[in-house]
């Protein structure tokens, strides 16, 4: 049985490990080193500048605006998405037939709600760029103008654009979490709902006292996923907004600044420093989220 075992293990692991080391591990390891250099991609040996890039980052207003936008999205995108998705998941699974069964047509709703999730983010961004057009030809501005209001520059007004982006992100994400939470609710024993309903619990109580606590683990997973997605936002901003993060840097995010700095200005050292900061933000968020939301696991 052990014949050729070592050869088999080595043979099966060598290609995947090699690909992974070359394309994932090596670039990440290099990024941490390049962040300490002034490399612009042309010289063979980059000059070591220590923490100079990070010192410059401290004075980089555009970068900090990007960080601020990411933090805003980090708070609001999971909050809105989880709230809306929980609401719908609860309605779908416990809203019908007196609070215990699935609502009529719940399968149809689940299929439709999930659909934005299978569309490419870049495609969604172009689609909403058209939806948000600032004149009568925009889906949202047409009725506004028909009612005699001024059209809203969803993507051209510096005070509005980031909210438009938040809206698109939530629009795309909700369906997935409806399905995820539905699966969680479906695994809660129905006697719990029935017993509570017989004891006179209303919809709100069923939700707050039974669904929410028993779904906590799933919500936590969803929260971390959405938080990481909020730190990684790129395509929606890059494709949808004017000046790719504009107008006037009002929608830019960290990933867009990393990309622009590296492939627009060829400042690879400086861009890597931004990437390192982004890396620690993401890791920090994940650790914090898991720590804060840790609770006793409820077995059922």
Partner 1 sequence: MAEAVIPRSRAQVRQERRRALGPFAALTHLALLAWTVLVVVPIVWTFLASVKSEDEIFGDAWSLPAVLRFDSWGRAWEQAHIGQYMINSVIVVACGTFGTMLFGSMAAYVLARYSFFGNRAVYLLFVSGLAFPVYLALGPLFFVVQNMGTLPVVGPFIGLGTHGGLVLVYIAYSLPFTVFFLAAFFRTLPGAVAEAAFVDGASHARVFFQIMLPMAKPGIVSVTIFNVLGQWNQYQLPLVLLNSDRQKWVLTQGIAEISTAAGYDADWSALFAALSMAILPMLVVYTIFQSQIQKGLTAGALK
CA dihedral 32, 38, 43, 48 (to 10 degrees): -70
Give the x-and-dash track for 5-34 against partner 1 (CB under 8 A).
xx-xx-xxx-xxx-xx-xxxxxxx-xx--x
176 binds partner 1 (CB under 8 A): yes
**Using the rule CB under 8 A, is 1 a contact of partner 1?**
yes
**Is residue 92 at the binding interface for partner 1, with CB under 8 A as the rule?**
yes
Of residues 100-139, those binding partner 1 (CB under 8 A):
100, 103-105, 109-123, 125-131, 133, 135-139
Count of residues near partner 1 by CB under 8 A = 114
Least Å distance, CB 158 to partner 1, is: 20
Cβ(125)–Cβ(236) below 8 Å: yes
Measured between alpha carbons, how far is 89 from 183 in angstroms, rounded to an integer? 9
Q: How far is the CB of 75 from partner 1 (least distance, A)?
A: 18
Exactly one of 68, 96, 134, 247 binds partner 1 (CB under 8 A); which one? 96
Regarding 234 and contact with partner 1 (CB under 8 A), the answer is yes
* Widest pairwise Cα distance in the chain: 82
Euclidean distance between CA atoms 239 and 127, whole angstroms: 10
What's the closest the beta carbon of residue 275 comes to partner 1, in angstroms? 4
Site string for partner 1, 267-296 (x = CB under 8 A): -x--xx--xx-xx--xx--x----------
Binding to partner 1 in span 54-83, by CB under 8 A: none
Residue 282 Cβ vs partner 1, minimum distance, rounded to whole Å:
5
Site membership for partner 1, residue 212 (CB under 8 A): no
CA distance 111 to 207: 23
For the chain, where are the alpha helices, taking DSSP H only? 5-20, 26-34, 52-58, 61-94, 106-114, 121-131, 141-146, 161-186, 190-198, 203-205, 212-214, 216-231, 235-240, 254-259, 268-292
């Amino acid at each position: 049985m052990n014949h050729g075992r070592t050869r088999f293990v080595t043979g099966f692991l060598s290609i995947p490990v090699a690909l992974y080391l070359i394309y994932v591990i090596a670039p990440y390891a290099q990024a941490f080193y390049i962040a300490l250099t002034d490399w612009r991609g042309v010289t063979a040996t980059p000059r070591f500048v220590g923490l100079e890039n990070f010192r410059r980052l401290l004075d980089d207003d555009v970068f900090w605006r990007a960080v601020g936008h990411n933090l805003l999205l980090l708070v609001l995108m999971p909050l809105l998405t989880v709230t809306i998705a929980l609401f719908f998941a609860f309605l779908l699974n416990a809203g019908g037939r007196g609070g215990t069964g699935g609502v009529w047509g719940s399968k149809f709703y689940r299929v439709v709600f999930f659909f934005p999730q299978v569309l490419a983010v870049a495609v969604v961004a172009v689609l909403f760029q058209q939806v948000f057009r600032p004149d009568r030809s925009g889906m949202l501005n047409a009725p506004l103008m028909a009612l005699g209001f001024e059209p809203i520059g969803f993507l051209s007004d510096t005070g509005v654009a980031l909210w438009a982006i938040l809206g698109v992100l939530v629009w795309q994400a909700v369906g997935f979490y409806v399905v995820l939470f539905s699966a969680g609710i479906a695994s809660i024993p129905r006697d719990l709902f029935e017993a509570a309903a017989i004891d006179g619990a209303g919809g709100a109580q069923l939700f707050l006292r039974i669904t929410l606590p028993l779904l906590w683990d799933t919500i936590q997973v969803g929260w971390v996923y959405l938080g990481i997605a909020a730190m990684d936002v790129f395509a929606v901003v890059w494709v949808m907004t004017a000046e790719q993060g504009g107008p006037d840097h009002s929608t830019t995010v960290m990933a867009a600044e990393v990309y622009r700095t590296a492939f627009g200005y060829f400042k690879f050292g400086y861009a890597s420093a931004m990437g390192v900061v982004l890396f620690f933000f993401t890791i920090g968020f994940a650790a914090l989220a898991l720590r804060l939301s840790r609770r006793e696991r409820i077995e059922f």
